[in-house]
Each structure stands twice: as C-alpha cells, then as structure tokens.
Structure 1
Amino acid sequence: MSTGCASAAEQPLQIAITVDDLPVHGPFPKTVTPENVAHEVIAALKAEKVEAYGFVNGYWTARDPSTAKVLQAWKDAALPLANHGWAHRHLSEISAAEFEQELLKNDPVLKPISTGDWRWFRYPYLDEGGSPEKRAASREVLARHGYKIAAVTMDFSDWAWTAPYARCMDSGNVAGVAKLEETFLESARENIGYFRQLSKTVYGRDIPYVLLLHTSAFEGKMLPRLLKLYRDEGFTFVSLAQAEADPAYADQTSPALPAEPQGLERKASAKGPLPSRTDYQPILESMCKA
C-alpha cells in the first residue's frame, strides 16, 4: 500500500529536492565525468519541473577548473545554487573563525552563477558542530551574514550507493548494478514512511519535507525513477523556500533564533524510541569487491 495516500481532509504531501556536493560527488565509473552527471541530473529535474537547489563546494572549481562547467550547466537550466562550505569540512573539526572562512570563500563562486537566493547554507555531513557552543557560534556567523539553514527532513543515505556503483560498473557486474537499483528504490520508499512517522510524532502532521540527495553518477541514472517514486507516493514538488516557510523550520530560516534539536530524528527521540528501518550499509559495502 502506498504510504502517500491521504484523505481529502489532509494537506497534500509536499517535498523540496536538494542536491549536495556540486560540482563533484564521487567516485565515478571510469567512463563518467562530473559534467555527464550534471546533464543527467538536470534533464531529470527539468522533465519533472522540479526547482532543485544545488549546494556547492567551490574548492573543486579551484582544484579542477573544468568542473565549473557543472555549475554553468545548472545556471543555464535556471536551477539555483547555494552554499555547502568551500571544502566540505566537518564543523565539529574546525573553529568558528575557520567556519566563517569556509562560508565566505564560496560567496564569489555563487554570486555570479546562482539564479536564485544563494544565501542558503547546508552543513557538510549535516554536522552542526558537535556541541551546543559550536552550534551557537556557527549560527551566529550565519545570521550575521544573512544566511538561512537548509534543513533536511527526509533522507535515505543515497550517497552510500555511489562507490558500489562505480565498482560494479568498472567490473562489468550487471547483476550487481541491478541489485543496487533495487535496493536504492527500496530504501527511498521505506524512508518515506519512516520520516512521515517522525513528523507526525513531532508535529502531529506531515510537514513539507526537504529531501537530501547527492550529485553522483548513480543519482544521474536513478533520478527519473526516484522522482516518479515520490510522485507515486503522493508528493508534489515544491521549492526549498516554499517548504521551509512552514513554521517547523523557523529556527533554521532564522538562525538568530534559539536552536531546536537538530533534525526530525533528534526531535522525535525526545518523545520515545525511534521506529526501525533497514540498514543497507553492510550489503552495499560488500558489493562488487574482488
């Protein structure tokens, strides 16, 4: 039974798509480039008329200037770009001053190329600092520079399929690729129910969700089917700004406000045990290894 079925009295399900780690999220199969992936991802988003935000690590454009073509492709498609930190560093491993440098170093990359409001920030690794003091310090930096936090409220660790896919493709393991496709969609579907349950535990309702994806070669291959899955489950696609206009995100869009517990899981765990879900990591880590 679809987890997306809703009665006429309920609000329609909404989801915003966000894509992290532009312009590079590898490893890639030997025959695939970041630019190939960008065009596949963009084509899938445009086909479904999805305004997805891409979150940028500008470091790559300095290390390999050819990767700037990925960001240009997003601009040409009128898809907005925003800040994911210059070099994708863990906030818990750097000082507040270093965090500010990581934030601001991306600004010159984003200003000329984003077609939307580029002052959204996605924490690398969703790491908000590891301590209340670090979290407060980072939020002060974001507030001072006019940034909003792009929170995540739906996730299925899509990044975990990236390396196995490269291994399976490079070894010509067709059965392995098929297994990856199957488990990827299974995980996405299962986590729809998981995060909807958390939302109802915390808020008593479905909030507009913000989905975390990554710009990997496997994402490029699977995104048409993935977006169809969310449609079939009853979701309509909205923008990041539309989703985070919901009161549930108030402390994220205004980081000067006191911070609530991070994420639906931490909020729900304060009310009781979390529901179970499948751990695909052991399967994925063992696939297509010699």
Structure 2
Amino acid sequence: MWKIILVWLLLGIAVPVVAQKQLVITLDDLPLTRIYDPDLMRDMTDRLVQCLAENQVPAIGFVNENKLYEKSILLPERVSLLQKWLSAGLELGNHTFSHVDYNNMTTAAFIADIQKGEIISRPLAEAVNRPYRFFRHPYLHRGNTPEKVVALTTYLKNNGYIEAPVTIDNGEWIFAHAYHRRMQERDSVAMRKIATDYIRYMEAKTLYFEEMARKMFGRAIPQILLLHANALNADHMDALLQMFRRLTYTFVPFEVALKDAAYLSEDTFSGRQGISWLHRWAKTANQPALYFEGEPMVPRHILDWAGISEE
C-alpha cells in the first residue's frame, strides 16, 4: 500500500484521505440536574469534568443560573461548580436563567431571562479569559412563529451570542431520569441495565443522524451532541466517549464544527417542536415524511422506569 502511495506522490496525484469524523460534546442544565446535596453535586461535577479533561474533550456546559440559588439566596458552593468547569479549560454558555420555554412567552420576556442568565456566568468566564459566546435554546425551541424566530436571532446576533445548534438530538434525559429514580432506590442492577441500554441507544441515534447527514450533504459533517449534566453522565461519560471513539470520532470545539458549510444551510422552520438542526434543514427543504423514518426511540422499559408515557 505504501508503495502505491509513494507512486501517487511522485506522479503528483492526490492521495485519498479518509475524512475524520468530528463531534462536539455539549451539556445542558449546569450545574447539575435533580441533584441538590452539596457533597453529591461536588463529587459528580468533579468526576464529570475530570473525565472530559482526561479525554481531551473541549466540551461546553450551558448554565441555568437559577440553580445557583436556593430560596433566592446565591450559594457560593454552587458557583464554585461552574468554576471547576472553567478551571478544567472547558467553556460555559447561556441556557437562560430558568430554562423557560420560548413557545409560551413573549420575545421580550424570553430575552429578559437570557440577560438574567448571564449575570454570574459571564464574569466568571471573563475573569479567567475564557470566551462566553454561545446560547442554547431550552427545549431546542427557536420560536413557534416566524416573527419570534427572527426577533430572537436578531437579538442574539446583535448582542454577540452564537446560537448553539444540535444535530444529534436524543432522549438521554429520559434515561437520566430513569437512572436517577433507580439511584434513589439504590437499585444497582437496574442502574447497570439503564447504563448499558443508554450507550447502545446513543450509538444507534448517532448512526441515524450520520446517515441523515449523508443523505442531505453527501458526506459526513461535524456532529453536535446534546447531553445534560446529570448522574448518568457523571457515572458513565467515559463509556460514552469510548463508544464515540470506536465510531472513529474525534472531539472538537464548537467553533471548529460551525466552520463547516453545512451550518450555513437555510433554516426557515418555525413551530412548537424542538428538533435536530438536521431535521430543521430537511423540513426547510420540504423533504417527505419517508426521509425521517428509522429514528431510534427510547425503549419502552426505560420510559416506564422514568415514569414517562412517551417521548
């Protein structure tokens, strides 16, 4: 094989290169979901951040600053959890103050919650010369009318925010809810089962969105994964990252992924759904329902363990 490549080089023929698959890891709802015990919050944050750092994952965490308070009192120990992310070289972003749903409020009220959501995180990031630039829509809701979409995107652009898209949308939050409930019951057998099924599900979901990207663009694109800061990922992030490595992914910063031309695709979707940007682009292109078939769903037993009727 090397002789063939050498001949190509001598003849001035381009050597074929296999494009490396790229993935951005994002985690929403910092500092943590459903965990309020100070020791547990510190332990889970330490393990999550350490795993990301050791695996050289340039992740970004999107913060809901209302979680830094208890009964309207700011808790320094929760602020310190965000500092752990920054100290590990990771980035913070805005996820609104209180994870509000843009579908159910005016643009003015939503913008006010965005502004309230940067009061602590932005100075923390700037104090250590870390950028503070990305905004993640709660529920992936960009606006349920064209007018609301335009109003929000205009505000974000005018105020230096970059919208944080998601291509690999998924039901990880349902697995996490089931895992949390079993954790409270100290059911280690069920927790292991949930974790195993979670990794398998996330692999299937990734392959589905890989195929959708190939259908749309004729090639692989940098994918952007949505996760949450929770007990499930604190316990099993390493297994998740190893799965992605097995699929030949490398982990890249957000700004690297967004340089891909795919992220310039037209998106005119407005509606109540919170969906993958791949789905948004496909809907904008008026792709038929058949185009979306085959998406893996959360298994019924996980929904039952989570106490959720449907995705």
In 2: Cα distance, 1:275 partner to 1:13 partner: 23
Task: String of CA shifts for 1:64-116, please: whole Å, max 9, x gaps.
Answer: 51321210111221211011111110111111111211111122212222253
The answer on 1:111 being equivalent to 2:125 is no
SS at match of 2:123: coil
Superposition RMSD in Å:
2.2
In 2: Cα distance, 1:237 partner to 1:160 partner: 24
AA partner of residue 78 (structure 2) = T
The answer on 1:49 being equivalent to 2:56 is yes
1:58 to 48, 55, 65: 65
TM-score (norm 2): 0.82
2:287 to 268, 271, 281: 271
Contact 2:208 2:296 in 1 (8 A): no
In structure 2, the residue matched to 1:24 is 32
In structure 1, the residue matched to 2:46 is 39
**Deviation for aligned residue 1:128:** 0.9
In structure 2, the residue matched to 1:86 is 97
In structure 1, the residue matched to 2:142 is 128
- Superposed, 1:1-290 pairs within 5 Å as 9-26=17-34, 33-63=40-70, 65=75, 66-114=77-125, 115-250=129-264, 259-261=267-269, 263-269=277-283, 270-272=286-288, 273=290, 274-280=292-298, 282-287=300-305
Structure 2 vs 1, CA of residues 288 and 215 (structure 1 numbering), >3 Å: closer, same or farther?
A: closer
Which structure would you say has the larger RCO, counting Cα contacts within 8 Å and 6 or more residues apart?
1
AA partner of residue 231 (structure 2) = A
In structure 2, the residue matched to 1:4 is none
Contact 2:92 2:132 in 1 (8 A): yes
Contact 1:171 1:288 in 2 (8 A): no
Identity %: 27
Contact 2:174 2:306 in 1 (8 A): no
**Deviation for aligned residue 1:265:** 1.7
Structure 2 vs 1, CA of residues 141 and 31 (structure 1 numbering), >3 Å: closer, same or farther?
A: closer
AA partner of residue 50 (structure 1) = V
In 1: Cα distance, 2:47 partner to 2:208 partner: 28
In 2: Cα distance, 1:173 partner to 1:59 partner: 30
Larger radius of gyration: 2
TM-score (norm 1): 0.88
Which residues of structure 1 form unaligned runs of 5+?
Answer: 1-7, 252-257
SS at match of 1:108: coil
In 1: Cα distance, 2:208 partner to 2:306 partner: 29
Which residues of structure 2 form unaligned runs of 5+?
Answer: 1-15, 270-275
AA partner of residue 35 (structure 1) = R
SS at match of 1:287: helix
Contact 2:107 2:152 in 1 (8 A): yes
In 2: Cα distance, 1:9 partner to 1:275 partner: 31
Contact 1:24 1:67 in 2 (8 A): no
Task: String of CA shifts for 1:35-89, please: whole Å, max 9, x gaps.
Answer: 2221111011011111101101111123351321210111221211011111110
AA partner of residue 145 (structure 1) = N
**Deviation for aligned residue 1:32:** 6.7
AA partner of residue 86 (structure 1) = F
Runs of 4+, deviation exceeding 3 Å = 258-262
The number of residues matched between the two structures is: 276
SS at match of 2:295: coil
**Deviation for aligned residue 1:121:** 0.4
Contact 1:92 1:130 in 2 (8 A): yes
In 2: Cα distance, 1:242 partner to 1:76 partner: 22
In 2: Cα distance, 1:178 partner to 1:15 partner: 26
